[in-house]
Chains A and B, each alone.
Chain A
Amino acid sequence: MNTVISVSGVSKVFNQGRDNRVSALESINLEIDSGEFVSLLGPSGCGKSTLLRLIGDLTSPSTGAVLVNGKSAAQARRGREYGMVFQQATLYDWRTVSRNVQLPLEIMGHSREQREARTQEMLKLVQLESFGRHYPWQLSGGMQQRVAIARALAFQPSILLMDEPFGALDEMTRERMQMELLRIWEQTKNTVVFVTHSIPEAVFLSSRVVVMSARPGRIAGIINIDVPQPRNFETREHPRFFEKITEVRECLRQGETNTHKGPPS
């Protein structure tokens, strides 16, 4: 496996040099291989979203470097290697579903035929073929998020960055969307970095879970999820699934205790 994303010695300080200075991330080292599904898991304030945004070059590190295929994160962003999905679907509500999926293709100057063909393909992938002419507000939250995924994948980026994409959905929809995402991932073979604060979600989806602790944000441990692939509804009842959930929970608790003791000197 070749390393796609490499985060080395990264820290992030907000409001540097002011009274409300916050150290969001400290000495983060992380390598992600091609085609991996990695979750960043932790309590709120642990900097997991910040780490995702650093990888996606939506913010830059205070120290250290993020490399993507040997290039800087900024080069990777300009090279359009990232598909992003946020907690809010962030569909443009003056555009129909199809035109939302086409948006990145328009920006990148694809021809109309290419755009339309690609959009059809993507809507089929997320099983919304017949909703192309609807407006976003006519769709449910889960459907909107599927459109957002279709849009993120439309220009075939190699890396999918997802920031709590199912955080605003109800539990039933959420589990359905997780299955959906795995199905898509198996088809597209993207490298996925997925931010969540749900332990079962992280374990169910990921090949590795990066457990983070808060104040300052650190990696408390990285856990390999060797629950058999492909995952399906039976996975949630698999003994290995429960073992892994326990392991992740233990790791989270340890991270917390260490924080309360203060950083090691």
Chain B
Amino acid sequence: MTVAQTVELGLDENQRDAQWRLALRRAASFLLILLLLCGVWEGYKALGQATRGKVPFTSLKLPIRPDDKSMPHLWTIGGSLLQPARRGGEDILLVILLKAALFTWREAVMGFVGGSVIGFLLGAIFGRFLLFERSLMPYIVASQTVPLLAIAPMIVIWGGRLNWPAWWSVSIISAYLTFFPVTINTLRGLRSPNLTAVELMRSYAASEMQILLKLRLPAALPYIFTALKVSATASVIGAIVGELPSGIQDGLGRVLLTFSYYYISGPEKLYASIVGAAALGILFAVIVALAERWIVPEGRRLSE
């Protein structure tokens, strides 16, 4: 065995070891933070109830009432998942949430994919033609300052005129919220190679297309994935907000709206739904992150 081979093997084993340690550390820190958050919630409740809703040793009111209506116990929230959402209803809350989440996710995935493709194409066009960037970028930025709540009903109405299924409109709203970070980061990523890297390609007499495919695009991938992780969660928010004016009954938007009406009688259900919606966003972002691990080699990821 040559020295070089020994070095190679040693390197690989160390790397694998380090990866495992890193994964373990991450899982541990995730659990620790989760426990800490639970502790803060229950601790606040216990403390607040002991002082009858006052900041200790003062007569100042605590901002949130520590009673079981405003802040149900975590086990109440967890327990509500396993009970029927309505008296006499068939499905337990967990099943309702899962079905709604799956429905919303379909809208979000379509919006995410459509928005990302459009976002990427815009970024690629802007990257190639400065003129387009100069002339169109202000509108792209403006599109994101318009409140989503203002345009969502319009998109729903236009979709209705064209007889689209209602959830298509929701996907479009979701895409609207998704494409912007992808455009910005694609543009940045495509421009990230330094002059020498481009000149190397010129010295090979590479075509514009080859420079794009073999240099600019691979260089842009870490930037694009950073945007996709942001977009994944944004697409879920877009879908939930989009469901409200479209009158869709099957998604998380409707579930959240319904339980917010019944907040007084059953706050734990609203809390459980909020956790469910957040979990969906996180899950989506994690899936994108896993795709990144698979596609982008480890030394190049930006967000780690």
Instruction: Identify the A interface with B (CB < 8 A).
Output: 56, 58, 77-80, 82-84, 86, 88, 90, 92-95, 103-104, 106-108, 128-131, 133-135, 137-138, 155, 161
Contacts and interface: CB of A to CB of B under 8 A. Distances in A.
Interface in B179-232: 194, 196-197, 199-206, 210, 214-215, 218-219, 221
A86 B203 CA distance: 12
B63 interface: no
B206 A107 contact: yes
A88 B11 CA distance: 24
Interface string B114-130: 00000000000000000
Interface residues of B, number: 26
A130 to B, nearest CB: 4
29 contacts: A58-B199, A58-B202, A58-B203, A77-B202, A77-B203, A80-B204, A84-B199, A86-B199, A86-B200, A90-B194, A90-B197, A90-B200, A92-B197, A94-B219, A94-B296, A94-B297, A95-B218, A103-B204, A106-B214, A107-B206, A107-B210, A107-B214, A128-B4, A130-B2, A130-B8, A131-B4, A134-B8, A134-B11, A155-B204
A86 B196 contact: yes
A161 B200 CA distance: 11
B299 interface: yes
A94 B202 CA distance: 19
B200 A84 contact: yes
B203 to A, nearest CB: 4
B5 interface: yes
Nearest to B295: A94
Nearest to B297: A94
Interface in B262-304: 296-297, 299-300
Interface string B2-22: 101100100100000000000
Contacts of B196: 86, 88, 90
A90 B8 CA distance: 22
Interface string B227-253: 000000000000000000000000000
Q: Which 4 A-B pairs have the closest CB atoms?
A: A130-B4, A84-B203, A107-B204, A137-B299
A106 to B, nearest CB: 7
B198 to A, nearest CB: 10
Contacts of A134: 8, 11
B8 A131 contact: yes
Contacts of B197: 90, 92
A104 B204 CA distance: 6
Contacts of A131: 4, 8
Most buried by B among A77, A108, A130: A130
A214 to B, nearest CB: 22
A82 B218 CA distance: 25
Nearest to A128: B4
A71 B219 CA distance: 34
A13 B19 CA distance: 53
A78 B297 contact: no
B8 A56 contact: no
Nearest to A84: B203
A240 to B, nearest CB: 35
A99 to B, nearest CB: 10
Nearest to B6: A130
Nearest to A106: B214
B147 to A, nearest CB: 39
Nearest to B11: A138
Nearest to A83: B203
Contacts of B206: 107
A135 B297 CA distance: 9
B299 A107 contact: no
Interface in B1-46: 2, 4-5, 8, 11
A92 B2 CA distance: 27
A202 B202 CA distance: 27
A82 B5 contact: no
Contacts of B199: 58, 84, 86
